[in-house]
Amino acid sequence: MSDIKKVVLAYSGGLDTSVIVRWLQDTYNCEVVTFTADIGQGEEVEPARAKAEALGVKEIYIEDLREEFVRDYVFPMFRANTIYEGEYLLGTSIARPLISRRLIEIANETGADAISHGATGKGNDQVRFELGAYALKPGVKVIAPWREWDLNSREKLLAYCDERNIPVEKKKGKSPYSMDANLLHISYEGINLEDPWAEAEEDMWRWSVSPEAAPDKPTYVELTYKQGDIVAIDGQEMKPHVVLETLNKLAGENGIGRLDIVENRYVGMKSRGCYETPGGTIMLRAHRAIESITLDREVAHLKDSIMPRYAEVIYNGYWWSPEREALQALIDQTQTYVNGTVRLKLYKGNVDVVGRKSEDSLFDEKIATFEEDQGAYDQKDAEGFIKLNALRLRIAAGKGRKL
C-alpha cells in the first residue's frame, strides 16, 4: 500500500490535469488537493472548482496571485533587463517559482505527503517546479505522472477519460497548440511549429495584431519609474499587475511583442516556440532608457555582464537558490537612483524611446554639449588619457608584435 495519503496538485482544469486527478486517486489511492493560480492567463479560473468537485476533490484552492506575481517576480526580473539567449523574456520561467512556493505552502497547510504537476518529461517546467519545491521543502515527495504513466498522447488521455467518466471538453481534429499564458506572456508550441522552417499562422496569435494591421498613427505613452519599477503610466499611479495589463493592451494594439525563436532547453534539446510578450517588450526598452541616464557607466556595464547568468538561473529553475538571491541583491542595489520618466512612441511593432528625464540623471548638458561649455570640460585632458591607455599597445608595437 502506498504511503502517500494526500497530494497537492497544480491544477488548471484542462485535460491533462483532470486526468492526473483521477490517475492519482487510482494509482496512489490518495486524496487530492487542487491548487489553481490566477496569474493573468486570460481565462476564468473559477470553473476549475466545479471540475475538481466533479472529480471528488474536497479541498480546492483557487487564488488570485496577479499582483504578487508581477510585484515580486516579474518586476525584480526586469530590473536586470533579463533576456535569455538574446531574445526570450522568460514569460513561462518566471511564473514557476511562485506556483512552486504555493504548492509547498498548501502541502504544509493541509498535511499533504506529496505535490504533483502536469509538466511533461521533455520540458523545462518539470525541472523548475521540482527545483523550487526541493529548495523550499527538501524532503518533499514529488509525483510527476508524465514520467510514470503510459498515457503519452492526446488520444490515450481521452480514452482514459471515457473509461473513467472524467468530464473534459473534447476537441475534434488536430490537437491545439500547446500554450502557456500569464500576465507577462503567452507561448505557443507544437503542430506546425515543430518545423522550424514553417511560418506561424496569423490566426494563432491572440494578444496582438500584426504590425501590418496596426494603426497608421503612433501611440505615445509615458512611464514613471521609482527605484527601477514602473509606478505610473501617463501620470496615473497603478499597482504592478495593472501596469502590465495596461501595457499589454497598448502594445498588442500596436503590433508589439511577437517573437519566434528556437531556444536551448535545460534538459538538452532545442525547441521552437512562438511568444507574445507585448507589455514586457515595452518594459525592457523603457527600463534600459531610464537606466541610461541614471546609472553609473561601470555599474551599467557590470549589470549587463551578469545578466546572461541571471537569465540562465531563472530559465533553468533556480529562482530559489543562493546565487539568484546574491545576484538579485546586487541588481536591486543598483536601482536606488533609477527614478524618472520615459516617453515612448509605439508604432507598427516598434517601440521607440523619444524622451527620458530624471531628477537623478547623470546626464550633464554643460559637459556633453558640442557648443561652448564654459570650461566644464578641458579637452586637453584627453591627450594624456589616450596616451596612458595606449601605453601597452605602443610597447607591444615597439617590440614588433603583430595583432
Higher pLDDT residue, 223 or 153?
Answer: 223
Does residue 41 sit in the same domain as residue 100?
A: yes
Instruction: Fill in the amino acid letter for 270.
Output: K
Check whether residue 79 and residue 22 sit in a common domain: yes
Which residue range is the domain that position 214 belongs to?
178-357
Query: Within its chain, how far is the Cα of 188 from the centroid?
Result: 14
Is 403 a domain residue? Answer: no
- Identify the CATH number of the domain in which residue 337 sits: 3.90.1260.10
Measure Cα distances from 355 to 72, 88, 232, 235 in Å.
28, 26, 16, 15
- Is 297 noted as a catalytic residue in this protein? no
Identified catalytic residue from 22, 66, 79, 96: 96
1 within a domain of the structure (yes/no): no
Q: Could you give the 3-state DSSP secondary structure of residue 101?
A: helix
Of 281, 301, 276, 275, the C-alpha closest to 223 is 281
* Whole-number pLDDT of residue 175: 40
Q: Annotated binding residue at 349?
A: no
Q: From the candidates 125, 180, 229, 258, which is the catalytic residue?
A: 125
Supply the pLDDT for residue 239.
Answer: 98
Given 130, 164, 198, which residue is the final one in a domain?
Answer: 164
Helix (H, G, I), strand (E, B), or coil: what is residue 341? Answer: strand
Q: What is the CA 166 to chain-centroid distance, rounded?
A: 33
293 domain residue, yes or no: yes
Q: Same domain, yes or no, for 222 and 298?
A: yes
* Integer Cα distance of 274 and 186 in angstroms: 8
In this prediction, residue 225 carries a pLDDT of 98
Helices and strands (H, E) in the chain, number of each type: 14, 14
Given 117, 135, 164, the domain boundary residue is 164
Is 78 within the bounds of a domain?
A: yes
Element (H, E) at 19: helix 15-28
Mean pLDDT calculated for residue range 5-23: 94
What is the b/e burial string over 254-276, where b = at least 16 CB atoms within 10 angstroms of the residue's CB? bbbbbbeeebeebeeeebbbbbb
Domain-located, residue 172 = no
Q: What pLDDT band is residue 373 in, cutting at 50, 70 and 90? A: confident
The pLDDT confidence band at residue 171, using thresholds 50, 70 and 90, is: low
Residue 2, marked binder? no
Whether residue 159 is found in the same domain as residue 58: yes
In a domain, 96, yes or no: yes
Place of cell 466545479: 50
Query: Is 229 annotated as catalytic?
Result: no
| 10 marked ligand binding residue | yes
- If asked whether residues 283 and 393 sit together in one domain, one would say no
How many folded domains does the chain comprise?
A: 3
Among the three residues 139, 164, 189, which one is the final residue of a domain in this structure? Answer: 164
pLDDT given at position 174 = 42
Beta bridge partners of 236: 233
Residue 156 shares a structural domain with residue 182: no
Which cell numbers hold the place of 38?
Answer: 490566477
96 is catalytic: yes
Buried b (16+ CB within 10 A) or exposed e, 60-91: bbbeebbebbbeebbbbbbbbbbbbeeebbbb
For residue 221, what are the contacts with CB-CB under 8 A and spacing of at least 6? 233, 234, 250, 282, 343, 344, 346
Which one is catalytic: 49, 72, 178, 260? 178
Q: Is residue 151 included in any domain, yes or no?
A: yes
Residues 319 and 378 in one domain: no
Q: Could you tell me the CATH number of the domain that includes residue 103? A: 3.40.50.620
Do 28 and 66 have their domain in common?
yes
pLDDT digits (tens, 9 = 90+) for 84-120: 999 999 999 999 999 999 999 999 999 999 999 999 8
Tell whether 122 and 224 lie within a shared domain. Answer: no
Same domain flag for 353 and 386 = no
pLDDT digits (tens, 9 = 90+) for 224-254: 999 999 999 999 999 999 999 999 999 999 9
Cβ pair 271, 200 in contact under 8 A? no
Q: Is residue 177 very low, low, confident or very high in pLDDT (cuts 50, 70, 90)? A: confident
Do residue 31 and residue 104 come from a single domain? yes
Alpha helices, H only, 111-257 = 125-136, 154-164, 240-253
The verdict on whether residue 12 carries a ligand-binding annotation is yes
The answer to whether residues 88 and 154 belong to one domain is: yes
Query: Which of 118-132, 143-157, 320-334 has the highest average model confidence (pLDDT)?
Result: 320-334
Domain assignment of residue 344, yes or no = yes
